[in-house]
Amino acid sequence: MTRAPRYTQTVANLPATVPFIGPEAMQRSAGKPFATRLGANESVYGPSPRVIDAIAAAGPDVWMYGDAEAFDLRNALAKHHNLAIDNIVVGSGIDGLLGTVIRLLVAPGDPVVTSAGAYPTFAYHVAANGGTLHTVPYSGDHEDPKALVAKARETRAKIVYIANPDNPMGSWHSAATIQDMIKDLPDDCVLALDEAYIDLAPAGAAPLFDMGDPRILRFRTFSKAHGLAGLRVGYAIGAATTIRMFDTIRDHFGVGRLAQSAALAAVQDVEWLRQVKAKVATARTELSAIASENGLAALPSATNFVTIDCGRDGAFARAVLSGLLARGIFARMPGVAPLDRCIRVSCGRADDHALFATALSETLRELGNADVT
């Protein structure tokens, strides 16, 4: 008799893969560390000093699980957004929360809509639950809200996903555009609105909260502007009736005591967030200048990264990325044409940008003497 686990048919048919190859794995493969890390959209500016103090103070208590209701953090978030505590659920980053909402709504064969080339972890969760993913192309360098809604109506999708601001392009829509999308959404379709970068976006990018609409779920994180990527803590905002459903299947101890303490301190340090936003704005300007100096075009960004159009096709952009990686610069690129004509570089400090500038010019000079097709 052959001994083997009995995997679900859905899982058995999936490739053994992950949405991203992590920088640590890439370093192990290369046998050397990166000179600078500009590919994961982390905040190199780190968390606020108040967050560091909160982590240190909570350290002796890590023998205890975190509060399963994340009451203090949810209460602080509710006050911050002028909402009720029942409108907020905390989870292990947006990725974990997206996985939960997919499990809540998507059974094998159920239709789900997203954009071709959008944040791949969402599609990864859909595949893991056997959902049927339908995609629409970007319109220029923006996700296309009207096309997404039209596809949702056509397929009778249970969920439609959009990120505003967008990853990987850094583009954004106005609050009015997102509000129009919500207005046109089918009555039984949930909008998963990923606002991971909203803290870094221009004023007027986020629509007002409407807690009376159970179809709208907004996802936010402490991994970007707040500098807590290593602690994995995010939250979803929605109608109390929708948020209550998370309690039926969520990992109730999925956000640990340190993460909750750190996030609570981050919410309360408004001045640190202001400083980070200013640093990101400066960094975007610097990265855009580096692109221009090398004959490339930086796209407008509302995030903590800059997407750079390499001016040719995906093969050329991949060659540029390979040259950067070979020179110790960790960066990434979109994976779907025509977005894959670009590379994506996270905002860093001045010395990070200097290393990137040197590696980019050397790479382009090298490629100028080669036939890249």
Domain ranges for the chain, please list them.
9-46+271-367, 49-269
Give me the residue label for tokens 């097709």. 373
pLDDT at 21: 87
Beta-carbon count within 10 A of 13 CB: 10
**What pLDDT, on a 0 to 100 scale, did the predictor assign at position 98?**
98
Taking alpha carbons only, the member of 176, 288, 285, 170 closest to residue 224 is: 170
Q: Give the C-alpha separation, 27 to 226, whole Å.
A: 26
CB neighbour list of residue 339: distance below 8 Å, 6 or more residues apart: 117, 138, 141, 168, 169
Ramachandran angles phi, psi of 265, nearest 5°: -65, -35
Is the distance from CB of 356 to CB of 290 less than 8 angstroms? Answer: yes
Model confidence pLDDT, tens digit, residues 306-358: 999 999 999 999 999 999 999 999 999 999 999 999 999 999 999 999 999 99
254 Cα distance to chain centroid: 19
* Cα dihedral 232→233→239→245 (10° resolution): 60
Q: Is the dihedral of CA 32, 33, 37, 41 positive or negative?
A: positive
pLDDT of residue 371: 60
CATH code for 9-46+271-367? 3.90.1150.10
Measured distance CA(137)–CA(202) in Å, rounded: 25
- Ranges of residues in the chain with a pLDDT under 70 are 1, 369-373
Domain 49-269 has CATH 3.40.640.10: yes
Six token digits for residue 217: 């779920």
The DSSP code for 208 is: P
Residue 1 has what pLDDT?
A: 67
Residue 209: name the closest of 224, 198, 223 by CA.
198
Q: How many Å is the maximal CA-CA distance in the chain? A: 66
Closest C-alpha to 152, from 168, 169, 132, 126: 132
